[in-house]
Chain A
């Protein structure tokens, strides 16, 4: 069981309000991802849930019970830190067993759980090493192992993969997703990498300056961003946002169109532009095309085979059914 509810939660450091009143419900078993730009309050929010910071006002409920004043250890949550926070003087085995020893569990039960966790995480061969003798990915797994042996109501991850290289990150991403499927426990995962958010989440919470901009499934956010911030933040490469006269033609202050929803043609199309930099990824090619109606070049996705000369003139056709319209406040127009 791990249902977490935040009701009008605020947090201030001195005079600075980092989290304005915030309401959020995380259902049992859900994989929730907090994303947002650096400094938007993701870590702070996670630490409030963990109990490592006191909330300034509001209520946090875990499984329907008020947990606002409950100490971190009693909330039944386990946290994986960005720096892993392993205990350097203890072996991997002792690290993983630490929460169980603190809970005064019997040695047999401890051994059983540590062995089981090590098997799940492929750590069996490393149990007697110190954290200093492990690679980044292995340390990450030890940190996760230390969290899972407690069988917590929910896991909290604060950018757990940001210290790993790209290849390892993809691997660990899968492992964490798989772990979630296997354990079926609530997980809250903080990241500023929107690829992680899109691939792992059941539910994404987009934050900006402590405010929730939108909550929804990855595809909901992708297909129906509630405002220009979410539209620009979710998706890679970014959605093209165009404002001014061209947007007015569609009765909107701003229009948005994703790179994959623009068709390229050498001869016809409503938008004319000049090809700038092209990024060849093999599978796809992204062209940056400067159109006369916008300052920023538009990004257009095309098949991997297509090559265009730098400086060539092309015509673009946005697919009308994928066009997003936003009003002067930046809110979506249906």
Chain B
């Protein structure tokens, strides 16, 4: 992509995709923003349009700014933040994201170091390690809930009883830990995979040079391997954060938002679908967008310098 001609050709060829993605993003985003300033309670009889239910009618009202719904200014916003569940849900979100990131990055590095060693049955082991990533979040959360964490029939309960201990009701007594564990299990393969390819791209002569320079295994890890992995770790953290901020299924099928596991996403879901208050939920959505951007900017600041090195 060096010459002027190839750069403008690239721009032209990327244009359709960019326009499509922009529309894909802008329509839902602007809907959320519009609704967040409206009173919209479907159960109380609020309607998007008086004319019909078709997509054409909807788009027409979209363009006109949904005049059938009343503007309420910033009321939804102040009510969403004013609710006693708001700050705990932000905190819960950050704890889950932070916990999962810490676990997946640390274990991912260890696991990828292990998988990089030549061993018997390497191909099969690698596929097995990646397997959890292919299981749908709903399914894996259900498996964890019923097979492992069930206080009566779960595997852990049996294990605890075998050692004479009282089984733990994981999802109610250690709810946050349990959810962090389930989500980490799902995302560990992703982290491992990216870190493994990064480790494999390390020039082995660098490690040999370090070995000759007198660096022991730990020093080789700290001075050579870890800096080399910096960029991959950055990518893992950025991508995972984006997806982890919106985890939902895992909470929905396990605790249902109870026992202090209500994340911001889950709170918005409850406002929109359980309380049937679209305006209030949309205001929460706008807050979530802002939160995600703040986190992203912070991450870029902290780890982004790894990316241009």
Chain A residues proximal to chain B, CB less than 8 Å: 50-52, 71-73, 77-79, 81-83, 85-89, 98-99, 102-103, 146, 150
Interface contact B211-A89, CB-CB below 8 Å: no
CA distance A87 to B230 in the complex (A): 14
Cβ of B205 < 8 Å from any Cβ of A?
Answer: yes
Residues of A with C-beta under 8 A to B309: 89
Is A103's CB under 8 angstroms from B214's CB? yes
Min distance, Cβ A187 to any Cβ of chain B, angstroms:
15
Taking a contact as CB atoms under 8 Å apart, the answer to whether A98 and B223 are in contact is yes
Report the tally of A-B residue pairs with Cβ distances under 8 A: 56
Nearest to B206 among chain A residues (CB) is A85
- Are B206 and A102 touching (Cβ within 8 A)? no
In the complex the two chains form, is A78's CB within 8 Å of B224's CB? no
A residues less than 8 Å from B223 (CB atoms): 87, 98
The answer to whether B228 touches A89, judged by C-beta atoms less than 8 angstroms apart, is yes
Contact A87 B206, CB 8 Å, known A98-B223, A102-B219: yes
Which are the 3 A-B pairs with shortest beta-carbon distances?
A: A99-B213, A85-B209, A102-B214
A102 engages B209 (CB within 8 Å): no
Contacts of B212 on A, CB cut-off 8 Å? Answer: 50-52, 72-73, 77-79
Judged by a CB distance under 8 angstroms, whether B203 is at the interface is yes
Measuring CB to CB, which residues of chain B are less than 8 angstroms from any residue of chain A?
A: 203, 205-206, 208-215, 219, 223-224, 227-228, 230, 309
Residues of chain A within 8 A of B205, CB atoms compared: 81-83, 85
- Given A89-B227, A98-B223, A102-B219, answer yes or no on A73-B214 (Cβ-Cβ < 8 Å): yes
CA distance A99 to B213 in the complex (A): 5
**A52 & B211 in contact (Cβ 8 Å cutoff):** yes
Closest residue to B213 on the A side, CB-wise?
A: A99
A73-B213, A85-B209, A98-B215 given; 19 more Cβ-contact pairs under 8 Å: A50-B212, A52-B211, A52-B212, A72-B208, A72-B212, A73-B211, A73-B212, A73-B214, A73-B215, A81-B208, A83-B203, A83-B205, A88-B228, A89-B227, A89-B230, A98-B223, A102-B213, A102-B215, A150-B213
Cα A146 to Cα B230 in complex, Å, equals 24
Residues in A with CB closer than 8 Å to B227 are 87, 89
Do B209 and A81 have beta carbons less than 8 Å apart?
Answer: yes
Given contacts A83-B203, A87-B223, A87-B224, contact A146 B208 (CB under 8 A): no
* Residues of the B chain whose Cβ atoms lie less than 8 Å from the Cβ of A98: 210, 213, 215, 223
In the assembled complex, which residues on chain A have CB atoms less than 8 Å from the CB atom of B230? 89
Chain B residues lying within 8 Å of A81, measured Cβ to Cβ, are 205, 208-209
- In the assembled complex, the CB of B79 is this many whole angstroms from the nearest CB of chain A, namely 50
Cα-based distance from A99 to B209 in the complex (angstroms) = 10
CA distance A52 to B212 in the complex (A): 8
Chain A residue nearest to B226 (CB atoms) is A89
